[in-house]
């Protein structure tokens, strides 16, 4: 038996590489593809992209250490994404799930996105099975909890959110090798949430702040959104869209890229109505695909002062 043990030990030692090329691992694992895609598909967000690249580098090193038999433990990967709506938090969470899967830190690489209503019940005995069912779906992947601060409403004595929180904390600690939890929401509310729930703060290793987009970035986002649907601005349309963005950013309920998407949906409605009402002959592809100044300029944003602005 002793001889078998020695042979097994020798075979195990032969499987341990003497050195590892991190750059090759970066390419072969597919992490480079994920980060390149993130950089290509998401405009702006430089500090976010930097943090994701730093996290990827850490995980590559940890994986290399594990393969070389060095002392290690699975790093804590639970995260917090803080920022205003429409800043790409869900998109980055999807890319993070893919990255973690390629590096072998989660089994499946899928993302389950939920809010309070998916986790918290409305009567006694309802919350635990709801929360556990969601966790069951998320195991092996990433659980993304948007507006996480709504999980527990302290002002409501009959709120059942605390039960969901306790179950989540237990799973985050005991099954952290098979589940990554990402909490997301407004920055100031997330700070207060962590202050009132220190159990979450102690389990979150990565806090990533998502900045608002600049006006130039939002215009590029608008052009990208249109291009994906084979639309585009003419010169006057692009100029008035830039004006629209400046005005809309100063008005209430602005949600970054989300507001831009809504504005473009309305612009396409106006374009369709304009073409239907004014065309008297055949329309070519260019006419059917061009957003003009009239399609943007008829938005209510241009008739309201910033203090009174509403969604277009």
Structural domain spans, the chain = 2-210, 215-308
No. of H helices and E strands in the chain?
Answer: 15, 7
Per-residue pLDDT of the chain (312 residues; tens, 9 = 90+): 445 555 554 444 557 877 888 888 889 888 899 999 999 889 999 999 999 999 999 889 888 888 888 867 778 899 999 999 999 999 999 999 999 999 889 999 999 999 999 999 888 888 999 999 999 999 999 999 999 999 977 766 677 888 999 999 999 999 988 999 999 999 999 999 998 888 888 899 899 999 999 999 999 999 999 999 999 999 999 999 999 999 999 998 899 999 999 999 999 999 999 999 998 889 999 999 999 999 999 899 998 765 544 444
Residues across the chain:
312
Model pLDDT, residue 248:
94
C-beta atoms surrounding 28 within 10 Å: 11
Model pLDDT, residue 310:
47
Place of tokens 């580098």: 57
Long-range Cβ pairs for the range 297-301 (8 Å, 24+): 297/240, 298/270, 299/244, 299/263, 299/266, 299/267, 301/244, 301/247, 301/248, 301/251
**Domain 215-308 falls in which CATH fold?**
Helicase, Ruva Protein; domain 3 (1.10.8)
Half-sphere exposure of 194 (CA within 13 A, CB side): 18
CA distance 80 to 69: 31
Model pLDDT, residue 227:
96
**What is each CA distance from 108 to 13, 90, 178, 180, in whole angstroms?**
29, 18, 9, 11
User: The whole model's pTM is what?
Assistant: 0.85
**Nearest to 172, CA basis, from 118, 217, 114, 131:** 131
Q: Would you call 282 exposed, middle or buried from its count of C-beta atoms within 10 A (0-12, 13-18, 19+)?
A: exposed
**What is each CA distance from 181 to 42, 96, 120, 244, 269, in whole angstroms?**
22, 11, 17, 37, 39
Would you tell me which CATH number, out of the four given (3.90.1170.50, 3.40.50.300, 1.10.40.30, 2.40.50.140), belongs to the domain 2-210? 3.40.50.300
Model pLDDT, residue 155:
67
CA distance 38 to 82: 18
- Note whether 128 and 85 are within 8 A (CB): no
CA distance 86 to 248: 14
- Note whether 211 and 86 are within 8 A (CB): no
- Note whether 211 and 220 are within 8 A (CB): no
Q: Would you call 263 exposed, middle or buried from its count of C-beta atoms within 10 A (0-12, 13-18, 19+)?
A: buried
Model pLDDT, residue 285:
96
Q: Strands 232-233 and 290-291, how do they pair?
A: parallel
């Amino acid at each position: 038996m002793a001889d078998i043990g020695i042979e097994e030990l020798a075979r195990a030692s032969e499987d341990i590489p003497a050195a590892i090329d991190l750059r090759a691992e970066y390419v072969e694992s597919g992490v480079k593809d994920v980060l390149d895609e993130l950089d290509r598909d998401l405009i702006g967000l430089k500090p976010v992209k930097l943090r994701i690249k730093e996290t990827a580098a850490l995980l590559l090193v940890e994986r290399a250490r594990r393969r070389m038999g060095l002392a290690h433990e699975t790093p804590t990967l639970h995260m917090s994404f803080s920022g205003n709506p429409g800043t790409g938090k869900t998109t980055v969470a999807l890319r993070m799930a893919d990255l973690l899967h390629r590096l072998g830190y989660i089994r499946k690489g899928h993302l389950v996105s939920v809010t309070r209503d998916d986790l918290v019940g409305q009567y006694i005995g309802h919350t635990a099975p709801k929360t556990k069912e969601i966790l069951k779906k998320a195991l092996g992947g990433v659980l993304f909890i948007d507006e996480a601060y709504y999980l527990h409403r302290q002002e409501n004595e009959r709120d059942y959110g605390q039960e969901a929180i306790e179950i989540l904390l237990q799973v985050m600690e005991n099954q952290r090798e098979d589940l990554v939890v990402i909490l997301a929401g407004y920055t100031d509310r997330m700070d207060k949430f962590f202050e009132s729930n220190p159990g979450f703060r102690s389990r979150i290793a990565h806090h990533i702040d998502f900045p608002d987009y600049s006006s130039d970035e939002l215009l590029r986002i608008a052009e990208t959104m249109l291009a994906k649907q084979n639309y585009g601005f003419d010169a006057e349309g692009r100029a008035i869209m830039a004006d629209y963005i400046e005005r809309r950013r100063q008005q209430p309920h602005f949600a970054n890229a989300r507001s831009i998407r809504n504005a473009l949906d309305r612009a396409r409605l106006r374009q369709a109505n304009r073409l239907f009402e004014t065309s008297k002959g055949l329309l070519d592809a260019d006419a059917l695909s061009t957003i003009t100044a009239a399609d943007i300029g008829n938005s209510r944003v241009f008739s309201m002062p910033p203090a009174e602005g509403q969604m277009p």
